[in-house]
Amino acid sequence: MTRNPAPAPRLRPFGQVDVFSAEPYRGNPLAVVVDAEGLPADVMQQFANWTNLAETTFLLPPTDPAADYRVRIFTGSEEFPFAGHPTLGSAHAWLEAGGIPRQDGVLVQECGAGLVRVKGDGGRLAFAAPPLTRSGPVSEAELSQVAAGLGMSREALLDASWLVNGPNWIGVLLESAEAVLSIRPDYAAMAGLKVGVIGPYPAGSGVGFEVRTFIPGDAAAEDPVTGSFNAGAAQWLIRSGRAPESYVAAQGTALGRAGRIHVDAVGDDIWVGGSSVSCIEGFVLL
């Protein structure tokens, strides 16, 4: 069988967007190839590996008539069906490139997980948290591995749940934000797991929770700010009564970032939002 040759490289619009921060270089960077039409998946994967960021996205014409655009999301080593900060950063880049949503006030992103709604929210963008494809108890063997990876006793893990909406997150609740910030991860002990940790701040702090997420073996082993985990954690914590229907979470503090994730439960939806700012604009040869 004859394989179709790869398209000749050409200059494509490209940007890097800082997500979950209104202040440049204090959130989570995302590389976005704004026009990726015709690019083979192996080229996308190679470029995502080269950017050395947590994720790189590629914007394409939609295949679903209800969508405004389609996105493919790659880490340095794999493709994700959905991820949170790539959703907000891609929507920001698409709008800045002149995209006009079919519906006033709401754009629809097509991705591997299906259709995701994104809306404006007081100068920020927010996505509707997709349904969890896996939730519920984590095995004792896995919890023991998580505890070892976090350098904590098993008893320090107050509760845990699978929170899968693309990435295979294990969510862990700790006693306090201070306990979250004290973690010194052992990535070798945690190998093979994606772990997100959340702990509450005292009342009146202005921020409800501190969050950290760990992905052993990834280019960014600790992710600065993580939309997919925060979406799953919000569904878990709000529906179990551990969090109010509206709160702000901080993430990236341990890395010198200042990520802020705004969570709001409205009807059956949980919206996860934050500010985005473009930091690099230009072209890439692909």
pLDDT tens column, 173-191: 999 999 999 999 999 999 9
Residues 140 and 78 in one domain: no
* HSE-CB of 234 using CA atoms within 13 angstroms: 32
Q: What is the 3 state secondary structure string of 184-223?
A: CCCHHHHCCCEEEEEEECCCCCCCCEEEEEECCCCCCCEE
Q: Is residue 121 part of a domain?
A: yes
pLDDT tens column, 188-243: 999 999 999 999 999 999 999 999 999 998 767 999 999 999 999 999 999 999 99
Q: How far is CA 31 from the centre of its chain?
A: 13
Residues 51 and 117 in one domain: yes
In total, how many domains does the chain have?
Answer: 2
Residues 140 and 192 in one domain: yes
pTM recorded for the entire structure: 0.93
- The residue segments making up the domain with residue 78 are 11-130+274-285
178 carries an active-site annotation: no
Provide Rg for the chain, Cα atoms. Answer: 19
Q: How is residue 198 written in tokens? A: 């959340």
Q: Catalytic one among 23, 37, 55, 155?
A: 55
Instruction: Judge whether 286 and 61 are in contact, CB under 8 Å.
Output: no
Residue 141 in this model has a pLDDT that exceeds 80: yes
